[in-house]
Structure 1
Amino acid sequence: MSEMNRDGVPDYLSMLSLKGRGFVVLGAGQGIGEQVTHALSQAGARVLCVDREEALAQQIARAVGGVPCAADVTSRADMQRIFDTARQAFGRVHGVVDIIGVAGIKPFSAVDDAGWAQQFDIVLRHAYLAIQIGGEMMAADGGGSMAFVGSLGGNRAVPNQTAYSTSKAALHHLVRCAGVEYASRGVRINAVAPGYVRTPRLNQRLGEDAWNAIGKVIPIGRPATPAEIAGPLLFLASDLSAHITGEVMAVDGGAGAVAAFPDVTFGPAKTPTP
């Protein structure tokens, strides 16, 4: 918590600062991960930039003056190496932002055993490993913050995303449970739940007609940009959110607040028949 001035008002800008703190970004190479790596760096953090593709890890590390790390985050050995590398590079790890998650979009009837297992592996396993390895390390070193990227699909039913949405719902509950368990040890664990975001991966799969149709069901009128998800993640990483843990913050343009009913015009009330 920031020191108070004599009027009892904190220095709020200093509470946003991450100067000198070491952070790990899992999935730093593109999209939301790339933007949040820039956000953390601009706030003063030193960042270990983790991506499965070495070229992407190198590219973002050069851009922010960070440390590149190519790894498979579903591997326990690789996750241990990630946090050992970060501790060696920065002295200690103060925070983690985990972006990773790929949606398998298909009817539930078309999901086979391998696809179901793969969906949970890519959405949930790395989060479990990050908390169990990175959370323990941060707790031992004095605490820190962890922020994950969930999904609107983890809160609502989204067409043709049953496996993905179920795995994200599990991630949300992992965040809640682990957030409570680690709170007394100084580690805050939270998540954001975006709706549709114009990431490079989704831009390859959706045309402008699809994006326009999506925008029509979002109260703000359009899908999010990766930078608009990075901002709330920076907030959760900083001391501005010092009293928040175990929470999943909706960042969906209001989509999760809308009931999916048609917009109809109601006529005058009818007089009841005696």
Structure 2
Amino acid sequence: MNDLISGGTPDYLSLLRLQGRGFVVLGAGQGIGEQATHALAQAGARLLCVDRDEELARQIADAVGGVPCVADVTSRAEMQRVFDTARQHFGRVHGMVDIIGVAGIKALSAVDDAGWEQQFDIVLRHAFLAIQIGGEMMAADGGGSMAFVGSMSGNRAVPNQSAYATSKAALHHLVRCAGVEYAGRGVRVNAVAPGYVRTPRLNERLDEDAWNAIGKVIPIGRPATPAEIAGPLLFLASDLSAHITGEVIAVDGGAGSVAAFPDVKFAASKTPTP
């Protein structure tokens, strides 16, 4: 880190390593969370593996030598317990990676009050609690990094995802605001915004025809794997991203850069006859 600040040539690989640092992973049990947990562990982090499902929390903790933790992190008391547990085990919390978020897929006209509130609890409220509780703890202990999983639907209108997309858009802005607010206290706050990812949950809902159709509108030609989202999360957790905060990085195979217009053929322009 000193070489980064002084302008010398750093050991770049060492900046990726998280040797001995304590990290909390929210939603560690499967999909992107499982792969992010493995990525952090391979970089040397000590991990508190948080999931609502006790069996999933135990399995991933066993796989990476971490500590399992079962919690409903939409509760302030539960989120406080998560970070207190991490500090007790690791002495200090250096960072957090948060994958939690479930998409309610239905037309906006079909979303009732309870569904709207549940969507915002799952996506936004827990992130607010994580930043307020975990961010304050990290700031008091010397700084750290927080990386969230947003969504391409928080940047673009996606059919039948209005409630989910709005909650993700709010998460993106919370990340920007928190990144600026905590920057002077040594805590970086960032997010990645994936497009479609072949997670276990989506694999249950989409068949191969649907995946093939999705791949056709992604410039790279296919949806992401969970590991391809875990890589950028590791980058944001590490000192390689030391000068990045308040950012939402698209990891969508280029889908967000494509205009949704048909590929039409234009007639050749004609040179006027004098």
| Pairwise CA RMSD | 1.6
The C-alpha deviation readout for 1:205-247, integer Å capped at 9, x for no partner, is: 0000000000000000000000000000000000000000000
Give 1:9 shift.
Answer: 1.1
The C-alpha deviation readout for 1:120-176, integer Å capped at 9, x for no partner, is: 111001100000000000000000000000000000000110100000000000000
Query: Please, what TM-score do these two structures have when normalized by structure 1?
Result: 0.97
Task: Please give the secondary structure, in 1, of the residue aligned with 2:118.
Answer: helix
Give 1:2 shift.
Answer: 5.0
Relative to structure 1, the CA distance from residue 212 to residue 9 in structure 2 (aligned partners, 3 Å threshold; closer, same or farther) is same
Query: Residue 240 in 1 paired to residue 205 in 2?
Result: no
Contact 1:119 1:164 in 2 (8 A): yes
Partner Cα distance (2:8, 2:233) in 1: 27
Following TM superposition, the consecutive aligned residue runs of length 4 or more in structure 1 with deviations greater than 4 angstroms are: 270-273
Aligned partner letter, 1:15: L
1:17 paired residue number? 17
Query: Please, what TM-score do these two structures have when normalized by structure 2?
Result: 0.97
Partner Cα distance (1:70, 1:111) in 2: 29
Query: Residue 128 in 1 paired to residue 128 in 2?
Result: yes
The aligned runs of 1:64-143 (5 Å cut-off) are 64-143=64-143
2:199 paired residue number? 199
Aligned partner letter, 1:201: R
Relative to structure 1, the CA distance from residue 60 to residue 261 in structure 2 (aligned partners, 3 Å threshold; closer, same or farther) is same
Percent identity of equivalent pairs: 86
Give the length in aligned residue pairs.
273
Give 1:268 shift.
Answer: 1.7
The C-alpha deviation readout for 1:5-27, integer Å capped at 9, x for no partner, is: x9931100000000000000000
2:36 paired residue number? 36
Partner Cα distance (1:196, 1:84) in 2: 34
Aligned partner letter, 1:269: S
Partner Cα distance (1:271, 1:106) in 2: 51
2:153 paired residue number? 153
Partner Cα distance (2:153, 2:48) in 1: 29
1:180 paired residue number? 180
Partner Cα distance (2:87, 2:112) in 1: 40
Partner Cα distance (1:43, 1:27) in 2: 19
Partner Cα distance (2:134, 2:121) in 1: 18
Aligned partner letter, 1:69: C
